[in-house]
Amino acid sequence: MKRNYQLQLDRVLTELGAQRPRLLLQSCCGPCSSYVLSYLTQHFDVTLLYYNPNIQPRAEYDKRLACQKALLQKAFPQVTLLECSYDGEAFARVSAGLEQEPEGGARCAVCFRLRLEETARRAAEGGFDWFCTTLTVSPHKNAAVINAIGEQLAAQYAVAWLPSDFKKRDGYRQSIALSHAYDLYRQDYCGCLFARAAQAKNSRTPGREQAEHEIHE
């Protein structure tokens, strides 16, 4: 049976009641974090982790980081940012041999694990109650894969994983609206140059534009 991660999150939030646990949230970018932060800061004391060694080239990484900082300054000054040093070599190591994988395949899975494991490790070391990621807000990211990895790492690092499928209930569309409201830079590829090349190729395929905007609620 297909799991509904949004309903699982609803149950977690109901059980929290008036508590405000500490959450370490891995963010892929400012636009995706806009909606997720507006949602989660109602229930958690959030620290945002910017760890994205997959983003290439370095100039693009810096541009997205600047966007992330701008969002926090404008809308979420209560959120602490943990900024990691750029480590493109880490992504190169885990993606070696997977360069030709299709978008959404094995290369994406190891990329998710790379970023989530760093989040879980830091959450455990920092005494956080929960860890999570903004990645599930994207309609192009497999929420089941992301949550499965998160659950595995939760057991490994002994810190609770917050289930999510933030694209539900118009989460993705709300992130677009908030990005416009805060005048955020919206990138046109997920991060790695392999994905960028594949996207450029697919953009020449008839019907691609319509598929890009399909959101499954």
Residue 185 CB neighbour total at 10 angstroms: 15
Distance of CA 176 to the CA centre of its chain: 15
Strand pairing class (160-161; 45-50): unpaired
Q: How far apart are CA 16 and CA 20, in angstroms?
A: 7
Q: Which residues contact 30 (CB under 8 A, 6 or more apart)?
A: 64, 67, 68, 70, 71, 179, 182, 184, 185
Instruction: Supply the pLDDT for residue 202.
Output: 65
Q: Which residues contact 146 (CB under 8 A, 6 or more apart)?
A: 112, 116, 133, 135, 136
Query: What is the sign, positive or negative, of the torsion defined by CA atoms of 146, 147, 153, 157?
Result: positive
Instruction: Supply the pLDDT for residue 167.
Output: 97
Which of 3-17, 63-77, 151-165, 199-213 shows the lowest per-residue confidence on average (mean pLDDT)? 199-213
Q: What is the pLDDT of residues 40-70, one digit of tens each?
A: 999 999 999 999 999 999 999 999 999 999 9
Instruction: Supply the pLDDT for residue 65.
Output: 96
Given a cut of 80, whether residue 99 has pLDDT beyond it is yes
Instruction: Supply the pLDDT for residue 203.
Output: 61
Name the residue among 122, 56, 127 with its Cα closest to residue 83: 122
